Chain A
Amino acid sequence: MQKFFKDKEHLVRMAALFAAGFVLFVVARAVLVPKGFGLYGHYRAGALADNKARPVVHAGRAICGDCHTDKRDELATGKHAGVGCEACHGPLARHAEDPSTLKPARPEPKTLCVRCHLANVAKPKKFPQIEPKAHYDGGDCHGCHASHVPNKEPTS
């Protein structure tokens, strides 16, 4: 054995250095590369779960309709059938989870309706638009129109 290593010590030292370097690399890589990195690509697979973990704020019209069946059926009959509940009533997932904790406020028609129906030259021409002052002179939208099933001609 002694004879074998004679005149080869420099090679052994070099090999040991390489081996130590390799072990250091493997250990450092194991420590530094996060879990799941490279599972789907050059990124941490756990990041997908992180993105999914955000709480839902808008419940979605299907959930609303599960309880408010009357409003759901009413809405489906009119021009606003395609409008989601939370488009007007705001994000209400917390109300959907526990209706007792959050009572949604009734939207104010004067500000709500004009959000969409205020005349603007950039709006599509087909979309029904009004000039509030000329249209109702400060009156309440609900005086003539029902918001869930809007009628084009005012009811008296």
Chain B
Amino acid sequence: MTSDRRDFLLTAGKLLIVTAPAAAYLEAAESGQAMEPAYKMADHYWGMIVDISKCIGCGNCVRADKAENNVPLEPFFFRTWVERYHVEGGWSEHPEVDSPNGGYDGFPEKYAAGDGAKSFFVPKLCNQCAHSPCTQVCPVGATFETPDGAVLVDKTYCLGCRYCIQACPYGCRYIHPATNTVDKCNLCYHRITKGLTTACCEACPTGARRLVDLKDPKDPVHELLRTHMVQILKPHMATGAKVYYNNLDGTVR
């Protein structure tokens, strides 16, 4: 077969016309598939901000959490709860702490105004530790830190040995009576991976709790951490807790 330059250029041109749309189509199809898993773990690192000076102890977070996450309604099963601190004289080694039904029904007034004590509410939840003691002690790898900064429980793998309940310095875990496996706040992983905020943050009327994405440079958490006096719970335990408390009193345990 002979071919001159003219034939060659003609054939090449035809080929280009055919392949260009085909390539574009393939590319579109591929990117369409890539769009499917919209949530990328590598893009997020979750935590929470709790502003003590905004918490009014209404218990909305506790109720919302129990509704969202199927937590038994009896007292002593909580993924999040609210404590009321009453510190005589403004400082005490052993402040008076109460949490009637975890704050589920609010806090009936117990103290008189002007009794010379300091009172405030402290919402508590799993601190989503970066170096979590509960993960370290789990004998079967049923609890773990995800790459996006949540500490989750594998219910199908948990033995119910309760070792993690003893290990958690914040008391954030309980055995679910229905499954006899451990349960705790998973930062509403089913919500945050869909672009929603957690149930407790959704229900908090004062904005005392805010879900934060530490990997998002536009997240207001960075400004808050820079401009406020922020503390985590039990920093001496080096748990790498990612629930940051604004205006936290030193008496809080």
Contacts and interface: CB of A to CB of B under 8 A. Distances in A.
Given A41-B145, A127-B206, A86 B64 contact: yes
Interface string B136-156: 000001111111000011111
A50 B155 contact: yes
Nearest to A124: B53
B205 A56 contact: no
B203 interface: yes
Name B's interface SS. Answer: loop
B189 A52 contact: yes
A83 B180 CA distance: 36
A51 B107 CA distance: 32
Nearest to B122: A122
Interface stretch (A16-24, A57-65, A98-106): A57-65
Contacts of A37: 141
B190 A52 contact: yes
A50 B156 contact: yes
Which of A34, A41, A51, A115 has the largest count of B CB atoms less than 10 A from its CB? A51
B238 interface: no
A86 B65 CA distance: 12
Contact of A43 (B60, B107, B154, B193): B154
B57 A120 contact: yes
Contacts, number: 132
A123 interface: yes
Nearest to A63: B196
Which of A55, A84, A122, A127 has the largest count of B CB atoms less than 10 A from its CB? A122
B191 interface: yes
A58 B190 contact: no
A48 B152 contact: yes
Given A48-B146, A51-B152, A122-B119, 6 more contacts: A40-B144, A83-B205, A87-B60, A116-B58, A121-B109, A124-B53
24 contacts: A34-B157, A42-B141, A47-B153, A47-B155, A50-B154, A51-B152, A51-B186, A52-B189, A52-B190, A54-B70, A56-B190, A56-B191, A57-B68, A60-B196, A82-B207, A86-B203, A87-B203, A91-B64, A120-B57, A121-B109, A121-B111, A122-B85, A124-B56, A124-B120
Interface of B: 53-60, 64, 67-70, 84-86, 106-107, 109, 111-113, 115, 119-121, 141-147, 152-157, 186, 189-191, 193-194, 196-197, 199, 202-207
